[in-house]
């Protein structure tokens, strides 16, 4: 295989992995949102939300707040690291910080 073919294959694998991470990302975001909602908004009289409702709110919030910069000069490796960070670190960090605040209430 030539170098160009290897690069195309690697790019295809990255795209497939990104597509595989989408439902995991949505599930983790929805789980974090539903827990944070229960901790901080239900005490104010708002009803609890289901995981499906939290997933919808997460998608809506992501759609509204999305910012794209295709000319940022990001390498594929940097893009992949950011993708993993957004998928796992963001919801888990939000839950951890929310948990600490919830303990102080």
Q: Is residue 21 part of a domain?
A: yes
Q: Is residue 60 part of a domain?
A: no
Tens of pLDDT, residues 48-69 = 999 999 999 998 988 888 766 6
Q: Is residue 8 part of a domain?
A: yes
pLDDT value, residue 70: 62
Domain that holds residue 95: 3-45+74-104
How many domains are there within the chain?
1
Burial class (CB in 10 A: 0-12, 13-18, 19+), 14: middle
Q: Is residue 61 part of a domain?
A: no
Look at residue 11 and tell me whether its pLDDT is greater than 70.
Answer: yes
Ordered alpha helix ranges (H), 41-89 = 51-65, 76-84
Q: Is residue 33 part of a domain?
A: yes
pLDDT value, residue 103: 94
Q: Is residue 63 part of a domain?
A: no
Measured in degrees and rounded to the nearest 5, phi and psi for residue 57 equal -65, -40
């Amino acid at each position: 295989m030539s170098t160009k073919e290897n690069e195309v294959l690697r790019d295809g694998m990255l795209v497939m992995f990104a597509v595989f991470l989408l439902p995991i990302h949505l599930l983790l975001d929805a789980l974090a949102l539903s827990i944070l909602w229960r901790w901080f908004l239900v005490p104010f009289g708002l009803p609890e939300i289901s995981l499906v409702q939290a997933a919808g709110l997460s998608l809506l919030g992501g759609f509204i707040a999305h910012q794209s910069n295709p000319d940022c000069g990001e390498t594929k490796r940097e893009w992949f690291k950011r993708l993993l960070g957004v998928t796992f670190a963001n919801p888990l960090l939000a839950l951890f910080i929310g948990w600490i605040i919830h303990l102080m209430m």
